[in-house]
């Protein structure tokens, strides 16, 4: 289901629990068809060459609401430099193997969000992440647990990217009855502070049940 972005308008609460699997694949976001329909396609950048993203000072940051990504509290949508938070419709997502390797029973991938709008915006904090599967893109098992601090805001010029490390647990290590291993087709990703989501293709196996452990563990975004 490469090339699709899912936009959903329900606020999503991140659950800390789970299981997971070694996954591979990458690609831009796209709309995942559901019974309720699918969202719109993000606007491509209107400026020239991509620019490397850079961290910016957090001084005076008013945040972007306690949204699905759990980035931070507050009602504002701008940070100290005057840039607004990046919105789901302005972002494209992908995953790639993390060169740092893995740990016993787990692998690591980098979840990247790229600014494909024509303006500079920022990301700060954690994305909301969960496995999805089936033709309807339903959630499979608990959402990713969050690990570490929120970090500094990352300013994304048009074409710039921010990455978050995602630990993917091999769910075959869990008791099969407790996990109920199930094929997954990708990730549902809520950018920090946003209530609309992206679909990021990434095939593998997740837990349809709630096992005694995390199937996914996500860290905050950093400049890439």
Residue 204: the pLDDT is: 96
Q: What is the pLDDT of residues 153-162, one digit of tens each?
A: 999 999 999 9
The strand order across the sheet containing 121-123 reads: 54-55, 154-156, 121-123, 84-85
How far is 185 from 188, CA to CA, in rounded Å? 10
pTM for this model (two decimals): 0.67
Could you report the per-residue pLDDT of 29-59, keeping only the tens digit for each?
444 433 333 333 333 333 334 333 444 433 3
Contact 204/21 with Cβ under 8 angstroms? yes
């Amino acid at each position: 289901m490469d090339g699709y972005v899912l936009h959903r308008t329900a606020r999503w609460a991140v659950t800390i629990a789970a299981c997971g699997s070694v996954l591979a694949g990458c690609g831009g976001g796209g709309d995942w068809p559901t019974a309720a329909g699918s969202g719109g396609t993000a606007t491509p950048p209107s400026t020239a060459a991509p620019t490397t993203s850079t961290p910016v000072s957090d001084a005076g940051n008013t945040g972007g609401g306690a949204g699905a990504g759990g980035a931070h509290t507050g009602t504002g949508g701008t940070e100290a430099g005057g840039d607004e938070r990046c919105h789901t419709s302005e972002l494209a997502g992908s995953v790639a193997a993390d060169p740092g390797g893995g740990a016993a029973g787990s692998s690591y991938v980098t979840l990247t969000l790229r600014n494909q709008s024509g303006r500079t915006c920022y990301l700060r904090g954690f994305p909301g992440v969960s496995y999805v599967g089936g033709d309807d893109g339903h959630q499979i098992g608990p959402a990713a647990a969050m690990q570490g601090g929120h970090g500094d805001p990352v300013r994304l010029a048009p074409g710039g990217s921010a990455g978050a490390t995602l630990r993917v647990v091999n769910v075959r290590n869990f008791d099969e009855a407790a996990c109920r291993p199930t094929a997954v087709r990708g990730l549902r990703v809520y950018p920090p502070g946003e209530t609309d989501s992206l679909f990021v293709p990434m095939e593998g196996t997740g837990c349809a049940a709630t096992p005694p452990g995390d199937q996914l563990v996500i860290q905050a975004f950093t400049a890439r």
